[in-house]
Structure 1
């Protein structure tokens, strides 16, 4: 088994980058750090989480051209489609930041027996996403942003051929 991943432009065959694989010890450290981050993040108010989610969307927009260009090189996506994918991801962040605090707010219920009930949406922990190559930004955002908003931490194992996109 190789100790590295090499990304290749499918249109030209050009080697784009070679990335070292993590060893088991480093991977374990990353999982533990993600759990530690979760223990803190889960306690943050929904409004604070929404600000972070909004900032992720803003960062996507600010880096749209760089990410789109990398998607074109790594997986052969058309430039216009790559930009649209990044814009969609930024839109998901904006929507989640705007509606997340209301959607995830505690709900009071009044059962017919006169008691009082509260529905609370609680985070679960570290969410691990193994993602395919075909939508390198969207596949990540669709699982991670809602989970981040909900108070979870997320880990990503992206497809090898889009390692650069995953890191960016």
Structure 2
């Protein structure tokens, strides 16, 4: 196993970029940092989380062409399909930011004998996603944004062939 990951343009064979492979110590540190971030993130209000997620969507929209070009180079995706993938991901962020706070709000329910119960949605921890190459941005966004909205932390291990766009 080499200590570098390479992204290679499948159309030309050109090496696009090399990335250092994480050592075991770096991986352990990333997990520790994610756990520390999760401890803070889980305490934030649903509305605060929604603002951050909306901002992620806004940033994706600002860089549609950059991401589409990168996906074209890394995996041979048609440029227009890359643009659509980025726009879809921004839409997922928008939808989650708009509907997440209501969907995850605690619910009061009537139970027997006139009593009330409360259903509360609580984060569970860090979610680790191992994602494939075919939709590099979408695969990362589809699992991470909903989990971030729910207050979880996320870690990503993407396919090596699309390390940049993943």
How does the TM-score come out when normalised to structure 1?
0.97
* Structure 2, unaligned runs of 5 or more: none
Q: CA deviation at 1:18?
A: 1.0
SS at match of 1:10: coil
Residue number in structure 2 paired with 1:79: 79
Residue number in structure 2 paired with 1:53: 53
Report the RMSD for the aligned CA atoms in angstroms.
0.6
SS at match of 1:165: coil
SS at match of 2:122: coil
Q: CA deviation at 1:114?
A: 1.8
Q: How far does the alpha carbon of each residue in 1:6-48 deviate from its partner, in whole angstroms, 9 at most, with x for none?
A: 1100111111111110100011000000000000000000000
Q: Tell me the matched-pair count.
A: 166
Separation in 1, partners of 2:92, 2:40? 24
Q: CA deviation at 1:113?
A: 2.6
Residue number in structure 2 paired with 1:152: 152
Residue number in structure 1 paired with 2:113: 113
* Structure 1, unaligned runs of 5 or more: none
Separation in 1, partners of 2:50, 2:80? 29
Residue number in structure 1 paired with 2:95: 95
SS at match of 1:12: coil
How does the TM-score come out when normalised to structure 2?
0.98
Residue number in structure 2 paired with 1:164: 164
